[in-house]
Amino acid sequence: TPLSHIRNFSIVAHIDHGKSTLADRLIQSTNTVSAREMKEQMLDSMDIERERGITIKAQTVRINYTAENGEEYVLNLIDTPGHVDFAYEVSRSMRAVEGSLLVVDSTQGVEAQTLANVYHAIEADHEIVPVLNKIDLPASDCDRVAEQIEDVIGIDASEAIRVSAKTGQGITETLEAIVHKLPAPKGNPDAPLKAMLVDSWYDSYLGVIVLVRIMDGQLKKNDRIRFMQNGTVHHVDRIGVFRPAMTEIDSLNPGEIGFLTASIKQVRDTRVGDTVTHEKNPTDKALPGFKPSQPVVFCGLFPVDSAEFEDLRDAIEKLALNDASFSYEMETSAALGFGFRCGFLGLLHLEVIRDRIEREYDIELITTAPSVIYHIHMKDGEMMELHNPADMPDLTLVDHLQEPRIKATILVPDDYLGDVLKLCQDRRGIQLDLTYAGSRAMVVYDLPLNEVVFDFYDRLKSVTKGYASFDYQMIGYREDKLVKMSILVNDEPVDALSTMVHRDRAEQRGRAMVEKLKDLIPRHMFKIPIQAAIGGKVIARETLSAMRKDVTAKCYGGDATRKRKLLDKQKAGKKKMRQFGKVDIPQEAFISALKMD
Ligand code: GTP
């Protein structure tokens, strides 16, 4: 295909505005797959993504389209991840294409992730085609939403395409707009090979599959290639395209998007944004701006049943093969035994990995409090990174601590603005901006990441009845009065419950935590003191009183089956408990104790 007949694009949208449905519809209407092969949401390949309705791994599809002018075009769609945690991957993969469809749900309007994602597209110099989706719904209000796109994003929406990805209305117009409004790619076929590594994932048959966009030169089967960032050389054993099934072809040329396999064992050897070239006759200039994504949120993962530690190691190693942005190292906790300290791009990433371990590998986990990376400046001038509150050094050696801060953008209907401001204020936020677009407010806050990682998003959703949307980016480190708070149960410190807190909030947080734990820990035969402490000083205390009677006593002696049932129930409950000294603490306590209402 000549360059003039190729169009490369992505779809940017807020979650649930219909990105996957529209992609399916474009594939279907061009007969890329027969109706029978067409599965709902075929671009979301993993079950967990489908269940949560989010797309995590970028995938791509090549569509052949005969336009109304009779010409044949090749349209390459890249499906980018839709969540804040994966912002870096989104911004990189956008550089592999020339344009974007900006999909906005015409019953909803612009949301925080619409903004975040469209800014990535604007930064990547995309031509942007606005698409108003869900026009089949009675609540659709295209004029209002088009105006909002112009006001809030500042792009012309007068020719926005009105679409129902559900009924198929407006799909031809969308395809025509891709052909006529988006620019063709550029590239020199005679220059040395320069390709961008757009994405990669592990396949159990083929090894790592690498998605590339050819900038210059030509890539062929059996070529020897080099990844310029880590210098590794590989023999290409397959190249091809997605239609959307993998289809092998002979060569990939400038402007094209396709895959290669080269017996690569680990996804972490293939970093998104890296430049691929030939071993011989390489390009002299790598693509600019490469930086691998770094984990920002850390937590401990421990098996509930310590006999499952090796299974957990196995599961984590397998998941890490396929996820370069997930980090792990072994950790031992006095209370929880052997486990792993894991690093994630954000909370959603954490949840996805935790769920996969529990579901795909059937291992019950205790997840410790998520923590961010603190910078500890020692009196001797050294700086150390603290990934785990349990590793906090001797305070007499510490000069000061810094914590990561974020810039959070929240879009919310007027009615809930007060609650949102209060929430941000409660989380030590500093307001940076407040503007209106119609009946919606856009608030921008500078917040400590530490106050956001745990349950900020849940709280935001609940105080706004789900109407607020949220996006954030890291802005750097700042000094504050931070201390480590320990929790003691029956006079024994439970390291997995240690957290870093702001000094002025420590009493309040400590009190809330011990009160929660008092409710979460079942009664024992003895009295259990539960305390929060900073250094050696107790700042909050509750006492769980002793159990009075045998639980089975109320099953009047005779009924053996009832008694058995009750004991079985207790046993099942027990499975989710861990022993700390003489005390059983249920697994849910580790998460619930940290939630702030
Ligand atoms: P993420 O993958 O989470 O980013 O979501 P998405 O943007 O891909 O949204 P998805 O395509 O999963 O659509 C979200 C919901 O809206 C689904 O229940 C769709 O069936 C529905 N939907 C999508 N397009 C339309 C439309 O044009 N009309 C109607 N009525 N519903 C639609």
pLDDT digit string, tens, across residues 571-582: 554 555 667 777
Return the closest-CA partner of residue 300 out of 329, 270, 267.
329
pLDDT at 51: 42
Amino acid at 101: L
CA 584 to ligand 1 centroid distance, Å: 45
CA distance 427 to 434: 17
Residue 531's contacts (CB-CB under 8 Å, 6 or more residues apart) are: 487, 488, 491, 514, 538, 540, 541, 542
CA 517 to ligand 1 centroid distance, Å: 40
CA dist 345 → 451, 452, 551 (Å): 16, 13, 45
pTM score? 0.72
136 is in an annotated binding site: yes
Cis amide prior to 244 (ω within 30 degrees): yes
Pocket of ligand 1 from Cβ distances under 6 Å: 13, 15-21, 53-55, 82, 133-134, 136-137, 164-166
Query: Tokens representing 67?
Result: 């336009």
Torsion of CA 545, 550, 554, 555, to 10 degrees: 150
H-assigned helices in 35-94: 47-52, 87-94
CA 30 to ligand 1 centroid distance, Å: 20
18 is in an annotated binding site: yes
Return the closest-CA partner of residue 22 out of 108, 103, 124.
103
Angle between helices 112-123 and 87-94 (to 10 degrees): 40
16 is in an annotated binding site: yes
Query: Tokens representing 371?
Result: 């923590």
pLDDT lower than 50: segments of the chain: 36, 38, 40-58, 555, 573
Return the closest-CA partner of residue 427 out of 455, 401, 400, 402.
455
pLDDT at 567: 59
Instruction: For tokens 């409004």, name the residue.
Output: 181
CA dist 101 → 11, 95, 112, 124, 591 (Å): 5, 14, 17, 14, 39
State whether residue 65 is helix, strand or coil: strand
Q: Which atom of ligand 1 is nearest to the CA of 44?
A: 2
- Strand 224-227 with 398-413, pairing: unpaired
Instruction: For tokens 């940290």, name the residue.
Output: 594
CA distance 92 to 200: 13
**Count of beta carbons in the 10 Å neighbourhood of residue 255:** 25
| 166-179: b (≥16 Cβ within 10 Å) or e | eeeebbeebbebbb
21 is in an annotated binding site: yes
pLDDT at 56: 36
pLDDT at 380: 92
Residue 107's contacts (CB-CB under 8 Å, 6 or more residues apart) are: 134, 137, 139, 140, 141
